[in-house]
Structure 1
Amino acid sequence: MNNDSPFDVSYKLIDLGLAGFVLADDSDETQLRDVHGTKMYSAPEYFRGEKDRFRQQSIKQAHPSKDIWALACVISEAAVWSVFGYNGLIDYNERRIKATADIPSLAQTGYSGCFHDTTKVLDVVKDVHKEACHARRTNIDNIVSRVVLIVGGMMAQDPSRRPDALRVYEDLTRAIELEAPPTATTNARYSMPVQLPPDLPVGLGLVTTGTPPIQSSYESPGRSTYRPDRRATISTNPGARPFSTALSIEEEDISRQSLHVMARHTIDVPQQTPVSGINSSFQHSSAPVGQRDLPVASVDKALNYIRMKKADARTPPLQGQEWLKRLHGRDQIFLIDDSASMHQHWKEVKRVFEALAYLVKTKDPDGIELRFANSCEHDDRQKHRNGLMKNFEKVKPGGQCQMGIALNKILPNYYRTQMNKRSSWSSRVEEKPPVNIYILTDGVWSQGQECLSTVQDHITRLVNHLWETGRLEHVGIQFIRFGDNEIGRQRLDILDNDQKQYYEVPRDIVDTEPSTGNIFKMLLGSTDGNWDKQDTG
């Protein structure tokens, strides 16, 4: 270990000889006899205690979900170490020991310091995960928060809701691949706490209030203070609310709830010379390489490409079309607002749908699904775009849009579990394939709070479910905005929830793009944070 850096270490892999490997048959997962293993990393459903001889000697079948829990514990410790160093890792262990000491069946046993309370994950584990997300080195570390969310799904209380090993591998691999290489110009710093915008116009249907300032310096009594190498920027804005050592925070991956958690470790704040103009809007640096290289194409350019392709099959692909390969295997659902306010935009709606449907028609093996907010009798699913276009022609805009009702026919399918008795050991969840949902609307829906809050509630429940099951990349919701109605625009901005400033979710899966904007962002913005950060028109 190099004394110059607490993170320059060597790793040792130790095998205690307790692991077993058996080829699963086609009918179900093969289960082995439980050989107990390390109690600290044991899953709650395999808790046996140390005072009940019957439970100690009873034979249990080991299910792979217990290994997912154990792996989550190891990854949790690695994530905490990567942020707070070795001292922070020791502190994490001590806090778990203290928490389990308050539980009689765990206190002073081999389970002391485990990650559960015999039934579910310890609250202190969740707290430390939030603190790690909050205190990470934001200029170089954009992966810890993603990993922490994956770990949350791996520690689901219900074993059947934990992801399998392949899902964990895919999620962790995706978390790494989504990281754009950091550059010297990407060290953007926020100089003040996040402020909510002023009151929105009457009719938006959502009341927003300010949030209290975040204290990022906290020292627990009776403990030696560990000070990792962090830098913070102090707001010099005389009009700003009281705020202590405002850390640079990248809100993309940290839920609003986690921002309210006091950082357990005191942060060293070097004195800095005030920078002129720091009390203005957030100071952003130039875009990272990954964002500068994102392809751009308008609907007109896409339609022109389609015409050329039909005339000559040898026409080269649309520039940037290779980016759409990641949509392969995902359901493609188009929900079209066919209310009266959309009548003036109807020709444009047709053009946008025609272009997008062409680009994704081969991505969904089951065919593109077309739905209408009002004209449900014309809902359809087809593999060929022409059939869907004929169905589109039958619809005439009219009436009022109840977007909450329209989404209620789609989103609950992704957070209501459909049980499939595939295993006698436990019920298994029949998992739906990943999906991209494109909503073509002007945002001019019914008046009142219920209109917007219903949609927001659906999104919140969906994201929470995806977080619990470790599938945050499973669903993307893209609003494509037509027209420039002020109320409609701000409603969609609220649902877009940029930097999670309007409502609390573990991850932002919603994006908004005007119909005159970038078609690649329309298709990818909801599932890729790099696109979600791209400016809209």
Structure 2
Amino acid sequence: MTHNNQSYMDAALEEFRQKLTSEWKRTNYKDQIFYLPKAIKAWMAAGDRQNAALLLEAVYKDRGFRRDITVAQLFKEQTRCIIVFAILVSLNYGHLISVFHQHNITDYRVDHDIDIQNSNLSRALRNERVDPIKVLTEFEDRKWSFTPVNLTYLMHPSLSGSKWILPFKEFILIGEGGTAKVYQVLVEGCLLPRDFRELVREASNKVADLAGFYEFAIKEYDHNHAEHFKREREAFMAIRGQEGMVQCLGDFEHHQQAAQGPQTTYNILLEFGQFHLGEFFAEPQTYPPVLQQEILLFWKKFFKVADAISSIHELTHTTEGGSTRRYNGWHADIKPENIMRVYGEFKLSDFGFAKFANYSNRPLSYIDGGTATYGAPEMDTERRMRGTKTALTQAIDVWSFACVLSVTATWAILGVQGVLQYEQVRESAIRDLPGDRRPSSSAAFHNGTKVLPEVLEWHQLLRTCRRESDPITDKILDLIDDRMLLADPDERIPIKELCSKRDALVEEAERALKRPEVQVSQPILEKLLQFDREPPTTSSKEDEGSTMYPARNARGKESQGKSRLPKENSVPQAKPGKVVYRAEALSTALEGVKDIQRQTRATDPGTTAETNNEFTSFLTWSPVDVTPSGRGQQATDPMQTKLPGEPHPAEGNPRREPGLTAQEFPNPPTNEARDGRTRVVTASPETFTSPRLSSIVSGSAVGYPDPIAGEISASDSQRVGPYTVQRTLMHLQTGRSLSTAPEVVLSPSPTRAPLVMSSPTSSAPRFNTEGTRPCPLYSPYGHYQTKAESFAMFKERKELEGRVRKSWSFRKQERDKDLKKIIEDRDIVFVVDRSSTMGQCWPWVTFWVETLAMKLARLDDDGLDLVFTGSGNLDHMGCKHAKEFKTRMDKAQRELDPMPTDMAGCLSRIFSTYRQNRKYARRALTLIVVTDGSWSVPANRQRGNKVEDNIVDFVNELQRTSQDVHDKVKYRRWFSIQFVSFATDPVAHANLKHLDSVMWKERGIPDVIDTKPWDHSIVNNLILGSLHEFADDSDEEPSTAVTGSTSAWRHP
């Protein structure tokens, strides 16, 4: 043996020992030492198993290198001994690995107890001149450090003995009830399988010193409550994958021997909730919503709990074999403590009292347990009638949810002090009842038989106190009083109907968003957003990722349904904090301002960004601001504003609409146009609406349709010419453009050229050209099941979910038979425009991309690719899990790019990757580009030319590279691009259609590009349009919903 070989062996042994004492070493919450088995295996296998080979030689060098085991045997699948070998090396018994291997002590059996009295094993160890009992005892003690409990998705191990090591960094008690304890735990990411990390990526800690750790909750039952554990585990398995519910990630049993006898704990691993609802209300630096959009967003997100309850009441479960079964369910314990705040979403939790039964038209069940405070009167009656049990309907959940809604509305209007006072009001009312009529709970919402009159009176108080900007809470209170808190269970609204009512209320409130109440300038909005994004003086648990703060240990036992809110004198003084959903609401509003500014700069070259930012205001309509339809005064000072109620002089702008207020600000003061004006106004939908249908107006300016309202008088659209500029209607809370229409400006500069919007097409786009249809205001996720006929994509999604097995992965889904005939050996890349101009339609973009990904399941063997415009840091290649697309899209929504889209740069990045990866380049490629067409325009170039150049160069390069590929490009569309247009700007959509219909002819390339609007009536053609001539030629005329009244489709 050479000196070099000896050095390599010694170095390998030293490196192993060093890593074992540092890099691979961990301690858990009990200060138990354990090592990272995955890291050990990776090191052993490195360099084509070279490390393992050197280590094996090193431990045998003092024995003449006589060994009866090879490296291949160490790694053999059935008898793998890598961890066993590591344990023995750590004990300086590495040379005994052959003995352990021969006696079947392998990695798969290492956690089994070794029979120290085994005569054959003992004899073999004595032959190696070691003490068998000493070696085996040390091995038994050390092996637990090398085999911590393996945490996997849906784990279900049974752990026997007290030596098992749970690899939790922290294990802190955060709640204790009558049947179980709840702990918050931290797990290092390297201990979780990759697919598990992907499923729970939101659980990754955001705090710098705990980066790489994941947060979970563990619900622990003792042996006296094993039945509760089994019931809750079964319930979690039944609702697995259902949205709006805290998910079970696995469970384990731990059997130990204690001084007082055997002890067993039953544990469920859960998603971690930063707060339950009561804690969320009491959080001193989280404030109720104030602005309209904040209020609406809060209620929309909170009402997802109703969807979760509805899923329980009518549960559809698909078995592994593909059969579908229907069940009725009861949660039976809905209360604030069982509604968790999980990474910004409200989710239903704690299914310990849940019941499920075979589906019935009138489901009834006997319910054990529940919480008296939020329980229905019939549940309270059952408890007071000892020895008598009555089967209960699902209406008990409706009552309980109504009580939670009542408390939530109180917080939304009066804050945490109102919640405390509301509880005192109910307690006082119940104390005044005769003793034999009092309900079980001192803070119940009923008097034993029906709702407390004081609850209804409290609701009236809330109506009186609600903000003028609140468009929905009073209607929710009406729903609670009229349909939910009813004594007769049969009269209560079914939960499914409640969800439909919710949708109607939300749509009505969204229409109300067109009438903001306050006048707020862009600088104020920006300051509010900046303040909200700054960290609070004392960070809240949610903002800091809910890491292990000492305060979380202070929670006591839950009382019988009473809130764990602090008492009045313990609420701290107000400190800077966060208003719920303010950042999201203000970001949306500000994007609306920026959209207008971009449009203004695009149509008026003389307008600069500096001037547009000088003063931009959202001036809004309110009932108290309505003025008679007189003439408005034309402002000469850009900072002048009219106070509500001031009379308007007769002179001035003769074109002001009734009920409108406006603020003018000038264009740059050039010699050519000192008096040019751009106006930003808002209007009541009752007093200002857009044309039903229009074409390009005569003259030089273009008017845009109002996507929300109905009609405008003819006089408002007929005078258009060189004396005209654009008027853009906006509203404060959404920042959404209501409409633009021509506006006459007095005294224009005679030298200013008319405003002309150009298009690369030979003729200007039609006013309502196909594809300019805006996305509806509501979210598609709440409507596609019940309104499947409204959009082809809704119907497609509903059918897909009916066929798809309940699974996290694409891989178990059936291939689409129609697409399978055409798409073969082809890479599909979704390219999503993440410019801020896409922000308002992002829920629809997400829904669209997710649905198309479901259709393409298993057609791309190496997984679908998702690419975003911009830096590429959000890209995700080889997506194989159904949830990955939506998760990535949601993350991208939080990181929308304020700069115009560099589509040319994005395509260059994709083409470069295709060229560099030869294996990738041998496959056909289709890009599905989802965009609104609002791309950056290079200096002195027409919009889109750089994109055209990149596409043409790439196709020509493919043609030059191989004649075979050239034929494929020409006849089989080896490479193709499908543009899916979310453009509401007719010019942007015309540019996309130009790429489809004109560019390829002008530039002499095959027809490999297609453009279709997002609401195209044939969903498959949104995939095949660039691949198949029939699908390419199937472009349809606008539907009647588009060419007719816009209200026909906006609120189906």
TM bin, normalised by shorter chain, reads 0.3 to 0.5
Task: With the length of structure 1 as denominator, give the TM-score of the two structures.
Answer: 0.40
Structure with higher RCO (Cα < 8 A, 6+ apart): 1
- Structure with higher Rg: it is 2
**Structure with greater strand share of residues:** 2
Task: With the length of structure 2 as denominator, give the TM-score of the two structures.
Answer: 0.21
